């Protein structure tokens, strides 16, 4: 008889099964929410799609804002560092060099992080050591950058297509503001 007392009725079984399915539904919702949070974290594919600094995916007003911010930062950089040496100057044709645009975007973001109120006190110095000098070296010596350009001459020697047509428009606007004597898109060589 003890074996029969361990058995449950069909109604009890169905109630337990309904509870189990409800628990599974709750767990599925929780896992879905966690996956959505994870996908928004840096380094995930979905985060890159929505990253306002990713030239490959940024569009519309975010893209315009990124161009404006980057152009203003490069202008500030040239005012601050450019008078020291030609190797510290970013030539006015930089928007026509996709590799340089990517490098300068990263350099600007690293500078912003180094100067954030939450950054350690040695972060600005670390920015110079870790990011500025190696980046400037690459920008002035590596293919795809402005290794052959000067403040007055644009020499495009790579086959990488421009980031977008708005790069040419920005470069032309910069040239007309007295930042360069050569209209972007022209090659005076």
pLDDT in tens, 69-128: 999 999 999 999 988 777 788 988 888 888 899 999 999 999 999 999 999 999 999 999
pTM of the model: 0.60
Cα distances (angstroms) measured from residue 178 to each of 65, 79, 107, 158: 22, 14, 24, 26
CB 55 within 8 A of CB 102: yes
Rounded (to 5) percent helix, strand, coil in the chain: 65, 0, 35
Confidence of residue 162 (pLDDT cuts 50, 70, 90): low
Distance CA 48, CA 37 (A): 14
Whether residue 64 has pLDDT greater than 60? yes
Distance CA 20, CA 88 (A): 66
Does residue 60 or residue 83 have the better pLDDT?
60
Tens of pLDDT, residues 89-100: 898 888 888 889
Whether residue 185 has pLDDT greater than 70? no
Query: How many C-beta neighbours within 10 Å does residue 111 have?
Result: 19
Distance CA 81, CA 87 (A): 10
Task: Choose among 146, 143, 65: nearest CA to 104.
Answer: 146
Please tell me the predicted confidence (pLDDT) of residue 166: 57
Distance CA 21, CA 17 (A): 6
Whether residue 67 has pLDDT greater than 50? yes
Tens of pLDDT, residues 24-53: 888 888 887 777 777 676 655 555 455 788
């Amino acid at each position: 008889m003890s074996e029969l007392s361990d058995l449950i009725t069909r109604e009890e079984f169905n109630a337990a099964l309904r509870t189990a399915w409800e628990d599974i539904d709750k767990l599925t919702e929780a896992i879905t929410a966690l996956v959505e949070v994870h996908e928004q974290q840096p380094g995930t594919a979905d985060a890159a799609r929505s990253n306002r600094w990713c030239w490959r995916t940024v569009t519309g007003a975010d893209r315009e804002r990124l161009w404006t911010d980057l152009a203003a930062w490069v202008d500030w950089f040239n005012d601050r560092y450019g008078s020291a040496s030609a190797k510290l100057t970013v030539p006015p044709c930089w928007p026509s060099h996709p590799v340089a645009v990517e490098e300068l975007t990263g350099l600007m973001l690293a500078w912003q992080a180094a100067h954030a109120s939450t950054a350690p006190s040695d972060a600005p110095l670390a920015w110079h050591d870790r990011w500025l000098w190696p980046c400037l070296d690459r920008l002035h010596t590596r293919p795809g950058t402005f290794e052959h350009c000067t403040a007055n001459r644009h020499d495009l020697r790579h086959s990488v297509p421009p980031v977008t047509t708005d790069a040419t428009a920005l470069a032309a606007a910069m040239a007309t503001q007295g930042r360069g004597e050569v209209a972007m898109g022209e090659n005076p060589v």
